[in-house]
Structure 1
Amino acid sequence: MILGLIVACEIGFWAVIVLGLFARYILKARRLGLVLIALAPVIDLVLLTLTAVHLRSGADAEWAHGLAAVYIGFSIAYGHRMVRWADITFSRRFDHGPPLARLSGTDYTVACWKDVARTLLATVTSTLVLFGLIWLVGNPAETTALEQWYGILLVILGIEVVWAVSYTIWPRPLKKINVAIQL
């Protein structure tokens, strides 16, 4: 049941964003678009509430409950960035907006370290949500499925740090600009 809720919330998250961008760029209804996009965090709140109610009603804690906590943490940390990416992409496609920038060199390295900070925020947020769900269940013997997520979160953070360190040591090459010389 909880896995279906996570999938439904993910679909709902992207549905309100796409509908908001459609309203903004196709229908030219900027206010409606903003309202629809603003509903995305509400979907996370609904998922958190439904997960807590499901656990509180006596359901056994499963890995899917932990996945809901991790989803919420990463949605909080990366949600704004994903919406901004979607907005730029929609703007470029339907409103002649600027293209997405491809970073290189030091700019890409800095972006990697910003992602480390976002992933750290997502990890901390997910951990706090997991703590809350474990507290809600109240029985440590029934929460091992939730506690297993701590190690997974550390692995995710570790991969992000290794990625950033690798681009700190070996930066992405600067873009080559082809300039035609006219004689």
Structure 2
Amino acid sequence: MIVTLIIACEVGFWVLLAAGLALRYLAGMRRTSVVVLLCEPLLEVVLLVVTAVDLKNGAQPDWKHGLAAVYLGFSAAMGHYIVTRADAWVAYRFAGGPKPAGAPKGGGARTAYEWRMAGRFVFAGALAIALLQAAIWYVGGDGGTASLRMWQQRMVWVIGINLLIALSYTLFPKKAEEEKARPSLLDRLLKPASERSGAHTAEDRTLTRR
């Protein structure tokens, strides 16, 4: 049931996001869109309550409860960023807003960008570790908590890897002219189809000339 609820929360997040942005930019119902978008955290609250009740009723802690804690941590840390980026792209596509900036090409701006991204992952991992620890205390010493502690170790690895990536940009910064801007996966998915096809056409022409 926990895994099914996690999937339902993820699907619900994107449905509410799409509905909220459609109400804002297509229907012109800005206040209603805010209400819809504010419903997204309720999905995580439901997952948290169901997971806690499941453990309280004597369920043996396993990977599913650990996954729920990790999902909650990353949703809390990344949710606002995803909503903000999606809102910017939809505003650009349908409301004449400015084109969202991608990752900086290099230099100090790129280093700062990488540290901001690392900070989000550190926050997500730390929050997941805290939720996992709360579950361990909730179950008590008599319950099997090995699976929950395994998830904590994985989050430490996630934090460490992202810090190393950011540190590499600090120790070995790339010059702006040496690196092209690489938009995130979310930016590529939300980019208008006309721009994506235009980019492919330019690449095809370059290959043909070669």
- TM-score, L = length of structure 1: 0.89
Cα distance between partner residues in 2 of 1:20 and 1:153 = 31
Which sections of structure 2, spanning at least 5 residues, go unmatched? 179-210
Deviates more, 1:22-31 or 1:101-110: 101-110
Q: 2:67 matched to which residue of 1?
A: 67
Which residue among 123, 134, 140 is the counterpart of 1:121?
123
What letter matches 1:129 in structure 2?
Answer: L
What letter matches 2:59 in structure 1?
Answer: A
Q: How does 1:112-151 map to 2 (within 5 A)?
A: 112-151=114-153
Q: 1:57 matched to which residue of 2?
A: 57
Q: 1:91 matched to which residue of 2?
A: 91
Shift of 1:64: 1.5
Shift of 1:60: 1.6
Q: Percent identity?
A: 39
Cα distance between partner residues in 2 of 1:79 and 1:6 = 15
What letter matches 2:28 in structure 1?
Answer: K
Cα distance between partner residues in 1 of 2:173 and 2:88 = 26
Count residues with an aligned counterpart. Answer: 176
Cα distance between partner residues in 2 of 1:80 and 1:173 = 30
Shift of 1:38: 0.8
Shift of 1:136: 2.0
What letter matches 1:47 in structure 2?
Answer: L
Q: 1:7 matched to which residue of 2?
A: 7
Aligned-partner SS, 1:96:
coil
Q: 1:169 matched to which residue of 2?
A: 171
Cα distance between partner residues in 2 of 1:43 and 1:109 = 34
Supply the RMSD in Å over aligned alpha carbons: 1.6
Shift of 1:141: 4.2
Shift of 1:140: 4.6
Deviations, residues 64-94 of structure 1 (Å, cap 9, x unaligned): 2111111111111111111101101111121
Q: 2:79 matched to which residue of 1?
A: 79
8 Å CA contact 2:92–2:98 kept in 1: the answer is yes
Cα distance between partner residues in 2 of 1:41 and 1:27 = 23
Within the alignment, does 1:104 sit opposite 2:108 as a pair? Answer: no
Deviations, residues 1-28 of structure 1 (Å, cap 9, x unaligned): 2111111111111111111001001111
What letter matches 1:8 in structure 2?
Answer: A
- TM-score, L = length of structure 2: 0.79
